[in-house]
Homo-oligomer: A and B are copies of this chain.
Amino acid sequence: MELPKVGSIGEYIRDQRKQAKISLRQLATQAGVSNPYLSQIERGLRKPSAEILNQIAKGLRISSQALYVQAGLIEDREPDSDVLAAIVADRTLTERQRQVLIDIYESFRKENRAEAQAGTERTAENARTEPAPQGVDAVPVEETETSSPNGRIQPEPKKG
């Protein structure tokens, strides 16, 4: 019934493996999965779990996210973003802080996309050099040095 996406992930893996010039068995060993299973995955006969996917990514020395995107498991809203990956991976942030950063970043992306749509020849490069169209101004930014946490951005209610 549903196997359209599965095929693409397999092709992608086989592609990457060919590029790395390693055999199916070799990748299977490096990834810690069985050879026949990897074969089935590459041909789209099996839908690997995230764990297996992650191991394959490690074996291929490529980003796990790239595989997840290919598998259609992250296509969420953003195709891919190093900033998001870094934010998500940052263990020094609280969950709420993380979510705030993600929300803001995504809103920026969305806004830039909308900007690019509205303007005719407005590419991202062009927009980048522009000061700021509209909505960006609404965001809290003390253009003077580092804004103090006591200023406007107060993520933790911090009672007591």
Contact = CB atoms under 8 A, between A and B. Distances in A.
A54 B73 contact: yes
A158 B114 contact: yes
Contact of A99 (B96, B99, B124, B136): B136
Contact of A88 (B69, B89, B137): B69
A101 B107 contact: no
Interface in A73-129: 73-112, 114-115, 118, 124-125, 127-129
A4 interface: no
Copies of this chain, count: 2
B54 A53 contact: no
A114 B152 CA distance: 17
B93 A128 contact: yes
A140 B157 contact: yes
Interface residues of A, number: 91
A129 B94 CA distance: 7
Nearest to A105: B101
A107 B142 CA distance: 12
B155 A111 contact: yes
A45 interface: no
A50 interface: yes
